[in-house]
Amino acid sequence: MNKYQEKAVGFLNSAGIAVNGGNPWDMQVLDERVFERVMKKGALGLGESYMDKWWSAEKPDEFFYRLLGAHLEDEVSLTFPLVIQGLKTVLSNRQSHRRGPKNARHHYDIGNDLFERMLGKTMAYSCGYWANAETLDEAQEAKFDLICRKMGLEKGMTILDVGCGWGMFMKYAVDHYGVEAIGLTLSKEQKEWGTEACRWLLIILQDYRKFRSPMFFDRIISIGMVEHVGYRNYRVFMEKMRKLLKPDGLFLLHTIGANKSMFTGDSWMEKYIFPGGQLPSVKQISKAAEGRFIIEDIHNLGADYDKTLMAWYENFVHAWPELKDKYGERFYRMWTYYLLSCAGSFRARHNQLWQIMLSPEGVRGGWKSVR
Catalytic residues: 342
239 dihedral zone (left: phi>0; alpha: psi -120 to 50; beta): alpha
Cα atoms in the Cβ-side hemisphere of radius 13 Å centred on 191:
16
Across the strands, what pairs with 356? 253, 298
Round to whole Å and give the CA distance between 183 and 220.
10
Neighbour tally for 253: CB within 10 Å: 25
Q: Which residues contact 154 (CB under 8 A, 6 or more apart)?
A: 177, 178, 179
Pair 184, 206: CB distance under 8 Å: yes
CA distances to 3, 220, 248 from 211, rounded to whole Å, are: 54, 13, 21
Give 54's Cβ-side CA count (13 Å radius).
Answer: 16
Coil, strand, or helix at residue 202? Answer: strand
d(CA 245, CA 163): 16
| DSSP classification of residue 367 | P
Query: How far apart are the two ends of the chain, measured CA to CA in Å?
Result: 53
Say whether 249 sits in a helix, a strand or coil.
strand
